[in-house]
A and B are shown apart, each in its own frame.
Chain A
């Protein structure tokens, strides 16, 4: 069938797959690079044993049904299971201690959420740091990979004033990485002063 589209060389990401570094998307202020243990710079291998790969595109059924978005069977089946998810840390103002959001697109979340839809996709989820409830994770640029236990269902994080379809409770290892990252950024900032 004929098509209008001239297939210009574009970045070949798939819908909500977040498989490649940020392209011409929402402008995001420059943030420090993600720790190498989390940064995704090339295609990942299979996840560790006991961990299932979950992609953002697998969160909701497509095409959309007659009313609202609906979770996929895959998402529902992973409730309480360990998963690996690749996405962008949402730069949220103000940040929420012990939590941040992971999004398929690089976006900034302001606190002025009064009228029109903002840019945070519906599939963005919360990431919870279970052992560091007071930690404010500094912004990280680029794709990151996270593993943890998935809790499916509408989650309202009052401190964030936001809701998400699921929460990823981080494994110990990535949480430690984030803790070190936060200390490192704080140290650098202190030196800069």
Chain B
């Protein structure tokens, strides 16, 4: 990869600054991408403004420049509102061109091939240059014009124009939200919330007999969840859009898309955690029931265009804690933290490590210089647990270890890794706590904490920082079990998640300078409560092939009744006349309406139990009724449906109506920096 510092010469800069804001001469050469993205660049329309930032929030400027045939790009300047953006240190800029072997990286048509070992994505002219200026920021609110001017060797200029907005956060009353808690029920649409309520609280004569904790929040709005490149998002942009204020492409987190193959060199945008750590010294806590490298937790702190790059992702959590303030990291995913000197992962090394050079990270110099980020290293042999401990983190491998870590008060920093990959789901963890340890023993982790326990621990650690914190608490397997259309497991995930919501609400009641948000990143599976079983549990077991003939609709569905144990979870989901779930975004499945003893297989587990069905279209095959789906593959998919967001605490009153997921960043920014005019709790 060729990266040279920008050579600024006075004359072209002067000429360009004089010409800034005017049209440049026509040329066959073109600029095919200008970042941050804008409709002004893409279509010529000034609205809607796509890229928006808080005052002072950092982001990268980048352009993909396709020069005339035989020419190369020798230098470039970005202009904002006609003013050249200076790289005063001379180390925040780069020009990236195809540096791989020409025979491999350039096809017969003169276009890049995008093959392994090359620099640029496929389909670009071989002389394309990606030019960047890192870590730009601007304070003045309003829409600003962004222009890039690039010079070819022959002196010809190529230019393009876009725009972005700095969103003013206004003046508040100074009563700021010191603590920000985002509870993210992954994949949790309105139906998931309703199902959790029906199961946990029950209904009588049409009225819910109780409310979920999230139901008690005084403000609720609806969130539009689209990503930069689709009406249907995945979890990476679904989360990062909330905490960057900007849209990302699917599978990408903390970055804008680019035209290079390196997954860690994309143009960055500063996260809420980084912004508030830099501005106010806040800490960051990331808590999930998933593998901690998963898209949602990573989308609080990690900058990469490939959400699957586990080694690099977990390394960055630690390496860049000076940027994010990371103080708590809890979930599954131990496989990424164990040393793997062999750099081979299949089958897993004897210790179960999945670390690999191919998904580790090394940053280009301009990002390191611009953002102050750690450069990274391809080091599968790294013992990351030991490194966390050396950095002062207490390490908890299980629930007992978590309790032990608090024996003498809350530790200053906390790492909890309770499973090799995703943690077991509430259905199986609770069964284990009640004495049926079949599943948790099979996974090898019989002592995993529940999400409310992890939340309580995290808040105790984070609240030690007098400057406040940003926390993300994720109920990850609402989504994962909805993908698998396991209608007994995901409702318990909602209940587990809601118990974490209750912990956060109690914290906010004691600490009124806290804003608590409960939402999702997207809806998953098109879940719908279609009615209830017209059969008893015994009748379903006797005839699991009933399929739709078991579904009672409208008044025949009545009100399913679940008995709740002292631990807060249903004694059984397999009750007579149980609630039945349909899926509008489903793949084929065999349905018995009965619980599966073992969860459907999680391919990320190093040692999946042999009894786990491979997928929903194999689960109950030959036993249940075939329900054909509307999507290909073997799992239900995300949908583009708006999802609810409920808010509690300081600044909560902003979260009403229908708004875009990126709006959440600016509402939080107002609450955290300017303060609200009234305390919404009062």
Contact = CB atoms under 8 A, between A and B. Distances in A.
Contact of A10 (B353, B354, B598): B598
Contact of B623 (A8, A16, A103, A165): A8
Contact of B427 (A4, A69, A109): A4
B309 A115 contact: yes
A63 B342 contact: no
B338 A68 contact: yes
A13 B611 contact: yes
Contacts of A60: 444, 607
B605 interface: yes
Contacts of A122: 347-350, 352, 606-607
Contact of B614 (A25, A124, A162): A25
A17 B595 contact: no
Given A10-B598, A26-B614, A117 B445 contact: no
A147 interface: no
Contacts, number: 190
A15 B614 CA distance: 15
Interface in B197-231: none
A98 to B, nearest CB: 18
Contact of B346 (A13, A16, A62, A120): A120
Interface string A47-84: 00000000000001011111111110000000000000
Contacts of A163: 342, 344-345, 347, 349-350
Given A24-B621, A114-B358, A4 B614 contact: no
B356 A114 contact: yes
SS class of chain A's interface: helix, strand, loop or mixed?
loop
Interface string B566-593: 0000111110000000000000000010
Contacts of A129: none
Interface string B535-559: 0010001001000000000000000
Interface string B416-440: 0000110000010011001110100
Given A5-B431, A5-B436, A114-B358, A109 B607 contact: no
B310 interface: yes
Contacts of B444: 60, 62-64
A64 B445 contact: yes
Contact of B608 (A4, A18, A121): A121
Given A6-B595, A24-B621, A121-B347, A115 B358 contact: yes
B441 A103 contact: no
Contact of A3 (B436, B603, B614): B436
A18 to B, nearest CB: 7
Interface size class of A (residues with CB under 8 A): 35 or more
Given A4-B431, A26-B614, A66 B397 contact: yes
Contacts of B537: 6
B404 to A, nearest CB: 11
B595 A63 contact: no
A101 B438 CA distance: 28
A164 B594 CA distance: 38
A2 interface: yes
Contacts of B420: 64
Contacts of A6: 537, 541, 574, 594-595, 597
A124 B348 CA distance: 8
Nearest to A25: B614
Interface residues of B, number: 76
A4 B488 contact: yes
A159 B334 CA distance: 28
A54 B614 CA distance: 26
B640 to A, nearest CB: 25
Interface in A119-168: 119-124, 154, 156, 161-165
Nearest to B595: A6
B347 A1 contact: no
Nearest to A71: B350
B447 interface: yes
A164 B345 CA distance: 9
Interface string A86-126: 00000000000000010111000100011111111111100
B194 interface: no
Contacts of A25: 601, 610, 614, 618
Nearest to B420: A64
A27 interface: yes
A7 interface: yes
B619 interface: yes
A116 B347 contact: no
Contact of A67 (B338, B356, B598): B338
Contacts of B541: 6, 8
A11 interface: yes
B637 interface: no
A67 B614 CA distance: 27
A3 B445 contact: no
Contact of B610 (A1, A4, A105, A162): A105
Contacts of A165: 349-350
A26 B397 CA distance: 29
B595 A4 contact: yes
Contacts of B595: 4-6
B446 interface: yes
A163 B352 CA distance: 11
Nearest to A153: B350
Given A64-B420, A117-B421, A24 B613 contact: yes
Contacts of A162: 344, 346-347
Interface in B311-345: 334-335, 338, 342, 344-345
A6 B309 CA distance: 38
Interface string B434-474: 11101001101111000000000000000000000000000
A10 B607 CA distance: 19
B442 A7 contact: no
Given A4-B427, A7-B597, A10-B598, A101 B347 contact: yes
A1 B618 CA distance: 30
B623 A117 contact: no
Interface string A8-37: 101101111110000111110000000000
B488 A123 contact: no
10 contacts: A2-B434, A5-B574, A5-B595, A24-B618, A60-B607, A69-B606, A114-B359, A116-B354, A118-B346, A164-B350
Interface of A: 1-8, 10-11, 13-18, 23-27, 60, 62-71, 101, 103-105, 109, 113-124, 154, 156, 161-165
